Amino acid sequence: MKKVKIALLGLGNVGRGVWMILNSNKEEIMKRSGYEVEVSKILVRDLKKERGVEVPSELLTTDFNDIINDDSIKIVVEVMGGIEPAREYMLESMNKRKHIVTANKMLLATGGDELFQKADSQGVMFNYEASVAGGIPIINGINESLTANKIEKLYGIVNGTTNYILTKMEFENLSFNEALKQAQEMGYAETDPTSDIEGFDAQYKLAILSSLAFGTKIKVENVYREGISKIESIDIQYAREFKKVIKLLAIVKDNAGKLELRVHPTMIPENHPLANVYDSFNAVFIKGNAVGDLMFYGRGAGDLPTGSAVISDIVSILRSNIDIDNINTVVKNNLWDKELYNIEEVISKYYIRLTVEDRPGVLGEITSVFGSMNVGLLSVIQRGRDIENENKVTLVLVTHYTKEGNILNSIDSVCKLNSVYKINNIIRMEEFN
C-alpha cells in the first residue's frame, strides 16, 4: 500500500472531525484512495489545550516551519479558519508544491482568487468542498456533475443556525429571541451570533457557490444581504395563511447573462422541497437547463459531516495522481464575465406588514400610493382592531411581481402618510418559476 503524509493546520471542531474519521474509517479510505493516509503534523496554537480527542503529542506543533519545510508532507489541510495566517500558510504551502484542502469560507469568499491563481501557477490541487454546506457535496456536484448545464438558478439554505431558529419559531411559536437562545444552548449559535443571523455566513457561501456555478468572480460585497433578526412570530403566522414558510435563502439567478445575487428571508411555498428542510439541516436547490430541478440535502455543519467533506477532497487528490506534474488542472473560475443586477432592479413579489391608523379611508390612501408607483396588490388582509392598540390595526399587503425599486419608492411615500405608524416588515416571496 502506498503511503501519503498530510498535515493539518488547526485542531478545532473540523480538525477533530478529520482526525476521528481518518482513524475510525481507515480501511475504507485506504481501499478507496489507494493510499494509507498518515497525519504527520498538526499545527495548533496551544500544545496543552484539551481537544476532546486523543492525538499523540509528538504530532502537535506550534511552528508552521515544521510543516512547510517537511518535503515528505504532500497535502496541507487548512482547518484553522480566519484570514491570516491561513492565507499566508496556504500560499507558502503551494509555493512548496503541496496540495491544499481547505474549509475556509471567509477566506475563499474574500480572497479566493489569489489562492486559485497560485494553485494554477504551481500546478497543485486546491479543494474546498467543506467550505460550503458542510457534508453536502455541493462543490463537487456543481464542479463535476453539472458540467453539461447552464445553471439558471440556485437557491440555498446554507446556514444551519438560522434554519434552526426559523424552525423553532414555526413549530413552537417561539419569538426570535427565544429561538436564538435555544440555538445558543444547543451550540448551534455563537455567543455573538451576528455572522449567522444577519446573513454574513450565507453571503460568503453564496459568493463561493455563484463563482463556481457561473464560472465567474463574485465579490462578497456584490451579494445583497439581509438577516432574519426582524422576523416576528406574526410574520410566520401570516406566511402560513398564504401556505408559505419563511426561510433564509441564498439566491442567484442568471437572466440572460446578468446575475442577481441576494441573501434574505424569503416566503416560499410550503410544498416546495426547500420548505421541508428543517432544524439545522442545509439544502441547495439548483435549476439547470439540462438537468432540470436538483436538490442536495444534508448536514451543513458539525465535526464529522464537515470532516467527511474534507477527507473526500483528500481522496480526490490521491486519486487524481499524486505525481503533481500530471495533474490536469482546469481553471474553473473566470470562464465568463457576468453583469450584476442592483437589488433595486430585482423583480419579486413582496409581503409588507404595516401598522396603520384604524379609521375609514386609510386603506384607500395606502393602496393608492402603491397604485401610483405601479405596484399591483395581490391580496390585502386587515382584521379587527388590535386589542392593546385601540387606534391601530395591522395591515398585510402582498404585491404582484414588481421591481424592488418601485417597492422602495412606494414605501418611502407610504411612510410619509400620517395614517401609517410603522412599516413592520417587508419579506420577499419566491415561487421558483
How far is the C-alpha of 225 from the C-alpha of 222, rounded, in Å? 9
If one asks whether residue 12 binds a second copy (CB under 8 A), the answer comes out as no
Residue given cell 458539525 in the structure block? 302
Q: Is 324 in the site for a second copy (CB under 8 A)?
A: no
Residue 107 CB, nearest distance to a second copy (Å)?
A: 22
Based on DSSP, count helices (H) and strands (E) in the chain, helices before strands.
14, 18
Q: Which helix (H) or strand (E) holds 169?
A: helix 160-172
The grid cell for 48 is 496543552
Query: Which residues, numbered 247-276, are part of the site for a second copy (CB under 8 A)?
Result: 271, 273, 276
Say whether 105 counts as a known binding-site residue: yes
What lies within 8 Å, CB to CB, of 293 at 6+ separation is 285, 286, 287
Residue 94 beta carbon to a second copy: minimum distance, rounded to whole angstroms: 20
Q: Please report whether residue 424 would count as binding a second copy according to CB under 8 A.
A: no
DSSP 326: G
E-only strand ranges, 129-275: 151-157, 224-225, 244-255, 258-269
* Shortest Å distance, C-beta 297 to a second copy: 4
What is the three-class DSSP state of 216?
Answer: coil
Whole-number Å distance between alpha carbons of 292 and 152 = 9
Grid coordinates belonging to 418: 400620517
* 316 touches a second copy by CB under 8 A: yes
| Residue 78 assigned as binding residue | no
Is 298 among the residues that bind a second copy (CB under 8 A)? yes
Q: Does 129 bind a second copy (CB under 8 A)?
A: yes
Give me the least distance between CB of 316 and a second copy, in Å please.
6
Q: Which span sits near a second copy by CB under 8 A: 21-29, 78-86, 228-236, 416-424?
A: 21-29
Query: Is the CB of 147 or the CB of 379 nearer to a second copy?
Result: 147
Q: Are 66 and 31 in contact (CB under 8 A)?
A: no
Based on CB atoms, which residue is closest to a second copy, 111 or 215? 215
The answer for 258, left when phi > 0, alpha when psi is -120 to 50, beta otherwise, is beta
The residue from 51, 85, 297, 419 that contacts a second copy (CB under 8 A) is: 297
Helix 233-241 and helix 160-172: axis angle, to 10°? 70
Q: Is 148 in the site for a second copy (CB under 8 A)?
A: yes
Burial of 403 (0-12, 13-18, 19+ CB in 10 A): middle
Q: Residue 302, interface with a second copy (CB under 8 A)?
A: yes
Number of residues that bind a second copy (CB under 8 A): 61
Antiparallel, parallel or unpaired: β 392-399 and 377-382: antiparallel
> Considering only residues 215, 242, 363, 392, which one is a binding residue for a second copy as defined by CB under 8 A?
215
Residue 287 annotated as catalytic: no
**Candidates 74, 98, 168, 205; catalytic one:** 205
Residue 165 or residue 284: which is nearer to a second copy going by CB?
Answer: 284
Cα–Cα distance between 351 and 343 in angstroms, integer?
Answer: 16
Binding site per annotation, positions for NADPH: 105
- Tell me the catalytic residues: 205
Annotated binding site for L-homoserine: 190
Which residues contact a second copy by CB under 8 A?
A: 17, 21, 24-25, 28-29, 31-34, 129, 135-137, 140-141, 144-150, 215, 271, 273, 276-277, 281, 288-299, 302, 304-305, 307-312, 315-316, 319-321, 326, 328, 330, 332, 335-336
Annotated binding-site members: 105, 190
